Amino acid sequence: MSVSHRRPVPLSKAYRLLNHGPTVLVSAAHDGKRNIMAAAWAMPLDFEPPKIAVVLDKSTWTRQLLEASGSFVLNVPCAAQADIVQTVGSTSGLERDKFQAYGLQAFAGELLDAPMLEGCVAWLECRLLPEPHNHQQYDLFLAEVIAAQADERVFSDGRWHFEGHDALRTLHHVAGGHFLKIGDPVAGKNLDD
Amino acid sequence: MSVSHRRPVPLSKAYRLLNHGPTVLVSAAHDGKRNIMAAAWAMPLDFEPPKIAVVLDKSTWTRQLLEASGSFVLNVPCAAQADIVQTVGSTSGLERDKFQAYGLQAFAGELLDAPMLEGCVAWLECRLLPEPHNHQQYDLFLAEVIAAQADERVFSDGRWHFEGHDALRTLHHVAGGHFLKIGDPVAGKNLDD
């Protein structure tokens, strides 16, 4: 039995899980069905209470599930999961359960039923905000983050620290299964100081 | 006189300049005044015509300028500019011109008057979409990308390629002047293949 490295992240720091622009996996469940898909277009929208924005195409089944349930999870995957991200980003879960098909392990959220994917490095449980104009016009979904967790090996005290954990670096999608992993720290100093 | 490495990016590929989640600099001009600020919360919103979303706090002067002019530029800065990003992200341009104060070189866009910052690795000229509810309620601005350019040393044929150009790697803000630069490629393959 493996030791879990998941730790709660205070809501005031939840935006930092997405601040550096990783590609995410969006998961949702409704009425006994569940799905997970990849989305490169997600970002923080507010600090506290934390909010996020994510773009979800009308054709996706995950979108149907999250519109029905009013909630979803943003899972932040890592380099070790590149094949999983590419696969769940290019297949449909309408005809078969992707978790079963690809042997993906899921666990329950603290507050939501949406499946959270094992092996990711952060998880944000989200409650959809009712903004139908944005949904219809722009495929844009805004949500409040109601719980967050991260893998303490690479995120603690509100900071990412990937040194020594290359396989846990976040993925940043370019196109067509080509990703860049996040790299090394750079400090920026204020030129007035 | 230095050779320019700026090349036009086809609008159909413009989303790829932001797809991997870099921190951006937002610049705008109106009525003889100009400003530039940092924003970590920006993402693509659509492919073609390309659209983007960016979050801009009510307190920022750049927001006032872009609301007045209806247009702005997203500049994608690089590791060599970390101090500039931190500085324009933590100072106000209301009382002095940041370009003059910090010796920043700007050039004109192909279609817009908003200043484009020399030394960045990509530039997206954007026309604001009239969505006042999103502005007021969420500080969220949606825009159509009407022209795009990139530094051909690190972006060509619709792909980023940073190998051999560490100083030109994009910046991804964590918090408080701590950035991560984008790292190396990872390929994801579809597990069904």
ipTM score assigned to the predicted complex = 0.96
Task: Provide the pLDDT for residue B1.
Answer: 46
Check CB contact under 8 Å for B22 and A21: yes
Mean pLDDT of A93-99: 90
Check CB contact under 8 Å for A40 and B51: no
Residue A120 · residue A25 · CB < 8 Å:
yes
pLDDT higher than threshold 60 for residue A24: yes
Task: Provide the pLDDT for residue A1.
Answer: 46
Report pLDDT digits (tens) over A28-85. Answer: 999 999 999 999 999 999 999 999 999 999 999 999 999 999 999 999 999 999 999 9
C-alpha distances in Å from residue A5, one per residue of A121, A122, A136, A177: 9, 10, 39, 28
CB-nearest partner of B188 from A46, A179, A183: A179
Mean pLDDT of B15-27: 98
pLDDT higher than threshold 90 for residue B163: yes
Which 8-state DSSP code applies to residue B170?
Answer: B
Give the Cβ contact number of residue A139 at 10 Å.
18
What superfamily does domain A6-181 belong to in CATH? Electron Transport, Fmn-binding Protein; Chain A (2.30.110.10)
pLDDT higher than threshold 90 for residue A124: yes
Task: Provide the pLDDT for residue A2.
Answer: 63
Model pTM above 0.95: yes
Which segments of chain B does DSSP mark as H helices, in order? 61-69, 82-88, 98-101, 132-138
Which amino acid, one-letter code, is at B173? H
Find the residue in A nearest to B85 (Cα). A188
Q: Tokens 């809501």 map to which residue?
A: A11
Q: Which of B116, B146, B168 is nearest to B10 (CA)?
A: B146
Residues in chain B: 193
| Mean pLDDT, chain B, integer | 96
Report pLDDT digits (tens) over B76-115. Answer: 999 999 999 999 999 888 888 999 999 999 999 999 989 9
3-state helix, strand, coil in chain A (%, to 5): 20, 40, 40
Q: How is residue A103 written in tokens?
A: 């042997």
Helix (H, G, I), strand (E, B) or coil at A32: coil
Check CB contact under 8 Å for B86 and A138: no
Find the residue in A nearest to B16 (Cα). A174
Within 8 A of B134 by CB-CB distance, chain A residues are 134
pLDDT higher than threshold 50 for residue B166: yes
Task: Provide the pLDDT for residue B3.
Answer: 75
| Mean pLDDT, chain A, integer | 96
Q: Compute the distance between CA of residue A186 and CA of residue B179 in angstroms, rounded to an integer.
A: 5
pLDDT higher than threshold 50 for residue A93: yes
Find the residue in B nearest to A138 (Cα). B45
Mean pLDDT of A6-35: 97
Phi, psi (deg, nearest 5) at residue B17: -70, -25
Q: Which of B117, B26, B39, B110 is nearest to B72 (CA)?
A: B26
Which amino acid, one-letter code, is at B142? L
Helix (H) or strand (E) holding A173: strand A171-175
**Residues in a beta bridge with B27:** B36, B73
Task: Provide the pLDDT for residue B2.
Answer: 63
Check CB contact under 8 Å for A19 and B175: yes
Report pLDDT digits (tens) over A137-169. Answer: 999 999 999 999 999 999 999 999 999 999 999
Report pLDDT digits (tens) over B109-157. Answer: 999 989 999 999 999 999 999 999 999 999 999 999 999 999 999 999 9
Which amino acid, one-letter code, is at B106? A
Q: Where are the domains of chain A?
A: 6-181
Mean pLDDT of A172-181: 96
Residue B77 · residue B121 · CB < 8 Å:
yes
Share of chain A above pLDDT 70, in %: 99
Q: Provide the terminal-to-terminal Cα distance of chain B, rounded to the nearest Å.
A: 51
Find the residue in B nearest to A140 (Cα). B45
Check CB contact under 8 Å for A177 and B187: yes
Residue A69 · residue B173 · CB < 8 Å:
no
Q: Which of B172, B158, B127, B125 is nearest to B23 (CA)?
A: B172
Within 8 A of B192 by CB-CB distance, chain A residues are 87, 91
Q: Compute the distance between CA of residue B65 and CA of residue B70 in angstroms, rounded to an integer.
A: 8
Check CB contact under 8 Å for A41 and B40: no
Helix (H, G, I), strand (E, B) or coil at A143: strand
